[in-house]
């Protein structure tokens, strides 16, 4: 319990330091303040515009599969998740049945 509390406090300190010292822009500095103020209004998209945007996002996601390292990491992630699920289910089966 003590180790968990100490590591949580250390992580919290690291997050606060990172948050205070980053070079990122505020939303107003980045130009998003106009949306919050209500001076810029996006037009109504409709179904066709929404489908077009979804297709654009899916194409962008699909382009990440061109990167060999990303494919490798994605495969490792999916295998770990699948093996974790299989282990968890067989553990429950043999422990409680």
Q: What are the pLDDT tens digits along the chain (97 aa)?
A: 889 899 999 999 999 998 888 777 777 777 777 776 777 777 788 899 999 999 999 999 999 999 999 999 999 999 999 999 999 999 888 887 7
Q: Which two tokens stand for residue 55?
A: 């297709």
Shared domain check, 91 and 50:
yes
> How far, in Å, CA of 48 to CA of 55, rounded?
11
Give me the domain span that covers residue 12: 1-42
Shared domain check, 56 and 32:
no
Residues 6 or more apart in contact with residue 34 via CB below 8 angstroms: 40
Helices marked H in the chain: 2-21, 27-30, 33-37, 46-63, 68-96
Query: Taking the complete model, does pTM exceed 0.75, yes or no?
Result: no
Shared domain check, 17 and 3:
yes
> How far, in Å, CA of 23 to CA of 34, rounded?
21
């Amino acid at each position: 319990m003590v180790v968990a509390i100490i590591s949580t406090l250390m992580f919290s300190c690291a997050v606060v330091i990172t948050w205070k010292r980053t070079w990122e822009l505020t939303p107003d500095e980045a130009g998003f303040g106009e949306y919050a103020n209500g001076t810029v209004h996006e037009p109504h998209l409709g179904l066709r515009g929404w489908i077009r945007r979804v297709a654009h996002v899916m194409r962008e996601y699909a382009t990440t599969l061109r990167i060999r390292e990303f494919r490798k990491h994605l495969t490792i992630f999916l295998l770990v998740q699948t093996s974790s699920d299989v282990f968890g289910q067989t553990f429950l089966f043999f422990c409680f049945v």
